[in-house]
Amino acid sequence: MHYIYMVLVLLIFSGCDNSSKKIDYDGEMLLKQKCAICHNLKMPPDTYEDEKAPPMMAVVFHLKDFMKITMDDEKFSKFIPFVQDYVLEPSKEKSYCDEESLKTYGVMPSQKGNVSKDELKAIAEYMYDFYDQEVYLKEMQEKSAFDALPKGEQLVLKTGCYNCHDTVKNKVGPSFKSIAQSKNKEIISVIQNGSQGKWKQFHNMMMPAFKNKFSKEELKILEEWINSLATIEEIKPWSVKNAI
Ligand code: HEC
Ligand code: HEC
């Protein structure tokens, strides 16, 4: 009697447990696993001569445009249902792709069996959020601002020198301006080998060695750029720097 009661309790509890367990799909991972064989996923995308499919960024921007999606809840009412349906039952008629692209790529082969409707919900949600026009524009603007900086400053930004240095203010280490003005500076050898105790104010701080980080040419560029700051007055705008 007691034993049967126990089994019942177990059944009820495990039953409850099962029905409340929802699988959490990872849209990003699924997109990479299931769609990257044909669609380039980068934003902005790499371009190849023999693409099998339009890049995912182009697909999403294009769908948002053609579905005239203006509000984010249309992600659920329009975008996700379309992707779920199209990927499982694609056709020339349903496609928002123009004639020319359909000719180039052919209609997408149905992914039935490769991906489930629930997985597609997570994939489509991720696609909608990740391929965002505004984020893309902002990234492009930041990138072109970055590309317009002097090469030496680009190297400094990419290597994290600003964690310890500033152009005009002393920080963990001396400002680049005061380094440029210093009589016994050894810019290239200090960057390569590191240094401690050379600057009195910073005697308990250390400049790490960046031994094989830079080519000879890059070291020269760094030296020239730092030297060019000897007479700067203004603090340069940090907006770009903060964005990297
Ligand atoms: C075997 C290659 C292949 C795979 C795998 C693939 N696609 Fe495609 N997909 C294509 C091609 C080709 C097109 C362009 C022609 C078209 O619109 O049917 C396309 C177009 C699309 C479109 C745009 C439809 C339109 O109307 O513009 C969506 C959305 C899409 N794919 C989503 C996905 C998702 C999500 C996955 C992963 C689950 C995926 N695709 C996997 C080949 C593929
Ligand atoms: C962890 C902090 C830190 C980082 C990161 C760092 N530095 Fe330094 N740097 C220092 C300190 C501290 C000094 C002062 C060293 C001394 O007094 O000997 C210094 C000094 C220098 C000097 C002075 C050389 C001289 O001869 O007086 C140069 C040039 C320099 N750093 C360039 C760089 C560059 C370029 C980078 C990035 C590649 C960088 N630093 C990254 C802390 C740092």
The preferred substitution site among 166, 195, 204 for testing ligand 2, maximizing ligand atoms within 8 Å of CB, is 195
Query: Is residue 138 a part of any domain in this protein?
Result: no
Question: Which neighbouring-strand residues pair with 115?
Answer: 112
Task: Count other Cβ atoms within 10 Å, centred on residue 164.
Answer: 15
Our count of domains for the chain comes to 2
Q: Is the predicted pLDDT of residue 49 greater than 90, yes or no?
A: no
Instruction: Report the nearest atom of ligand 2 relative to the CA of 223.
Output: 29
End residue of a domain, out of 131, 160, 190 = 131
- pTM of the entire predicted model: 0.68
- Whether residues 122 and 89 share a domain: the answer is yes
pLDDT in the model for residue 77: 95
- Whether residues 127 and 43 share a domain: the answer is yes
pLDDT per residue over 230-242, tens digit each?
A: 988 866 655 455 5
- Whether residues 33 and 81 share a domain: the answer is yes
Q: Which residues line ligand 1 (CB under 6 A)?
A: 34-35, 37-39, 52-54, 59, 62-63, 83, 86-87, 90, 95-97, 102, 105-109, 111, 115, 123
Q: Which ligand does the CA of 56 lie closest to? A: 1
- Whether residues 49 and 127 share a domain: the answer is yes
Atom 22 in ligand 1: which residue has the minimum CA distance? 59
The type of residue at 159 is T
Instruction: Report the nearest atom of ligand 2 relative to the CA of 214.
Output: 38
Query: Is residue 30 a part of any domain in this protein?
Result: yes
Tokens of 171: 């920080």
Handedness of CA 212, 214, 216, 219 (dihedral sign): negative
- The answer to whether 56 touches 72, Cβ cutoff 8 Å, is no
Q: How far apart are CA 145 and CA 156, in angstroms?
A: 15
- Whether residues 66 and 161 share a domain: the answer is no
CATH code for position 33: 1.10.760
- Whether residues 179 and 214 share a domain: the answer is yes
Distance 169 CA to ligand 2 centre (A): 13
- Whether residues 72 and 161 share a domain: the answer is no
- Cα separations (Å) of 147 from 21, 151, 165? 49, 8, 21
- Cα separations (Å) of 106 from 25, 45, 51, 101, 158? 29, 20, 11, 8, 42
Q: Is the predicted pLDDT of residue 21 greater than 70, yes or no?
A: no
pLDDT in the model for residue 8: 56
Query: Is residue 141 a part of any domain in this protein?
Result: no
Instruction: Report the nearest atom of ligand 1 relative to the CA of 83.
Output: 29
Query: Is residue 140 a part of any domain in this protein?
Result: no
- Cα separations (Å) of 235 from 92, 167, 169, 219? 57, 7, 9, 24
- Whether residues 124 and 179 share a domain: the answer is no
Residues 6+ apart with CB under 8 A from 114: 34
Query: Is residue 210 a part of any domain in this protein?
Result: yes
Question: Which neighbouring-strand residues pair with 112?
Answer: 115
- Whether residues 159 and 117 share a domain: the answer is no
- Whether residues 44 and 119 share a domain: the answer is yes
Query: Is residue 195 a part of any domain in this protein?
Result: yes
pLDDT per residue over 164-191, tens digit each?
A: 999 999 999 999 999 999 999 999 999 9
Query: Is residue 16 a part of any domain in this protein?
Result: no
Distance 138 CA to ligand 2 centre (A): 32
The preferred substitution site among 201, 202, 207 for testing ligand 2, maximizing ligand atoms within 8 Å of CB, is 207
What percent of the chain is predicted at pLDDT more than 70? 87
CATH code for position 160: 1.10.760.10
What percent of the chain is predicted at pLDDT more than 90? 74
Q: How far apart are CA 194 and CA 214, in angstroms?
A: 13
Domain of residue 55, residue span: 24-131
Instruction: Report the nearest atom of ligand 1 relative to the CA of 96.
Output: 26
pLDDT per residue over 104-122, tens digit each?
A: 999 999 999 999 999 999 9
- Whether residues 157 and 221 share a domain: the answer is yes
The type of residue at 199 is W
pLDDT in the model for residue 78: 96
- Whether residues 127 and 35 share a domain: the answer is yes
pLDDT in the model for residue 46: 83
Query: Is residue 100 a part of any domain in this protein?
Result: yes
Kindly report the average pLDDT of the chain as a whole number: 89
pLDDT per residue over 129-149, tens digit each?
A: 999 999 999 989 988 989 999
Cα 100 to its chain centre, rounded Å, is 31
